[in-house]
Amino acid sequence: MKLILTQEISGLGAPGDVVEVKDGYGRNYLVPRGHAIKWTRGAARQIDSIRKAREVREIHDVATAEQIKQQLEQLDVPLPARSGPGGRLFGAVTVADVVSAVSEAGGPEIDKRRIEVANPIKTLGSHQVVVRLHPEVAATLRLNVIRA
């Protein structure tokens, strides 16, 4: 199945890329979640607008990405969340929560699509989150989830 990616998919491509995937993966996962659209001649014209939007959000050079990485790794981000008596959160910490906590802590503005949470954060305490700033640069962000 031939698809046009609308979001960055790890190991597959970036927005605006035309990829060939197995039918089930495209039909059952990528298209319903809005990560891709089916390739047609009309949709192929949208590729330029998708790529232009990506270029606006993207960090272009490695030096800038390294500077942002240093800023993020020096931050210790407190993230208040509601929790029960055992330290277990009501729900989980989302990437939107992480973005707002970083901006409140005085860090640089980051795109929520660049944040990768390996395991859902459901407990109080210190956690680490990876931020992919550039294909060659990834920053490790320290979160301190505290009781709200």
CATH code: domain of residue 42: 3.40.5.10
14-26 pLDDT per residue, tens = 888 889 999 999 9
Domain boundaries, position 124? 62-147
125-140 pLDDT per residue, tens = 999 999 988 878 889 9
Residue 7, pLDDT > 90, answer no
**Is 99 found in the same domain as 53?**
no
Give the chain's domain count: 2
Tell me if 56 sits within 8 A of 42, measured CB to CB.
no
**Is 35 found in the same domain as 21?**
yes
Pairing verdict, β 18-20 and 2-5 = antiparallel
Rounded CA separation 37/139 (Å): 30
List own/partner pairs for 18-25 with CB under 8 A and 24 or more apart: 18/44, 18/47, 25/1
**Is 49 found in the same domain as 78?**
no
Tell me if 133 sits within 8 A of 99, measured CB to CB.
no
Share of residues in the chain with pLDDT > 70 (%): 95
**Is 136 found in the same domain as 81?**
yes
pTM over 0.75: no
Domain boundary among 19, 37, 57: 57
Rounded to the nearest 5 degrees, what angle is found at the Cα of 112, between the Cα atoms of 108 and 95? 105
**Is 45 found in the same domain as 23?**
yes
**Is 105 found in the same domain as 89?**
yes
Query: Beta partners for 13?
Result: 9
**Is 48 found in the same domain as 109?**
no
58-109 pLDDT per residue, tens = 666 778 888 889 999 998 899 999 999 888 999 999 999 999 999 999 888 8
